[in-house]
Structure 1
Amino acid sequence: MSGLIAVQQIIGMLVNVLIMLIVIQFVIGLLFAFNVVNQSNQFLMQVYNSINSLLDPVLRPIRRIMPNTGAIDFSPLVLILGLNILLIVMNAVIYG
């Protein structure tokens, strides 16, 4: 049973890191969208592109399934909800 708890904690930590990356991507995107930071800022642009390259393989299948909503991309929200549902189900299975 302690092995399952360790796996659950590792998956929980990875989910938290993924959610933090989604939030950072969102905030940097807002900074660019509202011209708080210029896109010529090489550091932020590199961080944004790196996070996009990490998250794109996870978000792409969600974007294919979801309807096109125009300028607003709801796939990060769907991913966060799905990851939290996964954690809830894992906790229910382990701690039953």
Structure 2
Amino acid sequence: MVSLFLLIDTVLELYVWVLIASAVLSWLFAFGVVNTHNRVVHMIGDMLYRLTDPVLAPIRRVLPNLGGIDVSPVVLILLIYFLRNLLRELWFGM
């Protein structure tokens, strides 16, 4: 059972890093730092969007409009850390 917990915990941690990479890449797109016409950059951005948008879209619908500031990745990261701590308590009884 510990192996299952470690697998779930690792997948959640990796998803947090995917969320961070997606947020950073979206900022780089917005400020024109990276070339959006580059095929590799476009493929990476599309992959990150496809991995994160299905989870972030419901959160964006619930959150109020903050004038162009998207805090949904922060909310999701906090939820993931809460879930990880909850799983630790359930598995190990801490």
TM-score (normalizing by structure 1): 0.88
The amino acid that maps onto 1:85 is: F
Alignment of 1:3-82 (within 5 A): 3=1, 5-82=2-79
Contact 1:19–1:80 (CA under 8 A) maintained in structure 2 = yes
Question: How many angstroms does 1:70 deviate by?
Answer: 2.3
Give per-residue Cα distances to partners, 1:37-85, cap 9 Å, x unaligned.
Answer: 1211221111111110111111111111111112111111111000000
Runs of 4+ in structure 1 off by over 2 angstroms are none
- Number of aligned residue pairs: give it: 93
Contact 2:35–2:41 (CA under 8 A) maintained in structure 1 = no
Q: CA RMSD, aligned part only?
A: 1.2
Contact 1:28–1:44 (CA under 8 A) maintained in structure 2 = no
| Structure 1: distance between partners of 2:81 and 2:61 | 21
TM-score (normalizing by structure 2): 0.90
Q: Which runs of 5+ in 2 are unaligned?
A: none
Q: Which runs of 5+ in 1 are unaligned?
A: none
